[in-house]
Amino acid sequence: MSLLAASSEGGENWGATGPVCTVRPSPGAPVSARQVEERTQILADGTAITDLLTCQVYRDSAGRVRIAYRLGDGGGRSEEVGNLLDPVEYSETMLLPEQKIADRGTVPRSSAGFQVGLPVAGRALPKGKWNTQEEALGVRVIEGIEAQGTRWVATSEEQPALMAFRERWSSQALGLTLEEKVVGPNWAHTVKLQNLNRGEPDPALFVVPFDYTVQGQ
C-alpha cells in the first residue's frame, strides 16, 4: 500500500469534508462506536489550526453501515447528516434529517464487491517521486479488540528532508480501523474509535424514515 495513494485530496476548507470510514460494510460483525477525528493544518507562520469532527457509527449483522455526524461549511454553519451504506441493496444514501430528504444512489456491482468512495485519513502529498517503506508493528488490544499495526513512511526523492508517515491499527477479521494517524509536511490527521459496543444496533438506523422525500436513483 502506498502512503501517497491512500491520501485524499484536501482543499482549503479541509474541516468541511465528511468523516473517514473506519467501519467498513462487512457482514457478521455488528458494532456501534464513537469516531473522533482531529485534523490539524500548520500555517506558514507555524500556527496550528485543529478541526475536531466526531460522529457515531453503526453496523448491523447484514453489514449495513450508518454514519451520523454534523457537517460544517467553514463559515460557522453546520447540518446534521447521515450516510447509509447498504451492501445488501448495493445502495448509498445521504440523509438530511433537518430537511427530511434522502438522496439515494445505486452502487455498481463488481467482482471487488461493495465499493463506495468515502474520505480517507490524510491529504494528498506534494507532486513528485516518493519512496515508501512499510513496517509491521505487531498487535495491540484497542477497545477490547486485537488490532494489527502497520506503518508506512514516505520520503521525497527530490527533497529527502520532506517526509510523511501513516500508522494504522486495524482488525481485518472485523472490518475495523481502530486507530490511524497520518502526518504530512504541514498537516496531521488522527482517527480513533471509542466506546465500542459489539451488540446489534437498532434496525431503524438502517432504513429511510417513512416521512422523508427520497431523491436520486
Which is more confidently placed, 66 or 117? Answer: 66
What is the Rg, in whole angstroms, of the alpha carbon atoms belonging to the chain? Answer: 18
Whole-angstrom distance, CA of residue 188 vs CA of residue 121: 9
- Domains delineated in the chain: 3-216 (2.50.20.10)
Task: For residue 103, name the pLDDT band (cuts at 50, 70, 90).
Answer: very high
Q: Is the pTM of this model over 0.75?
A: yes
β-bridge partners, 141: 146
Helix and strand numbers (H, E) in the chain are 1, 12
3-state secondary structure 128-197: CCEEEEEEEEEEEEECCEEEEEEEEEEEECCCCCCEEEEEEEEECCCCEEEEEEEECCCEEEEEEEEEEE
Query: Across all residues in the chain, what is the average pLDDT?
Result: 87
User: For residue range 42-87, what is the model confidence (pLDDT) as tens digits?
Assistant: 888 889 888 888 999 999 999 999 999 987 655 556 678 999 999 9
Residue 120's pLDDT is what? 83
In this prediction, residues 107-116 reach a mean pLDDT of 86
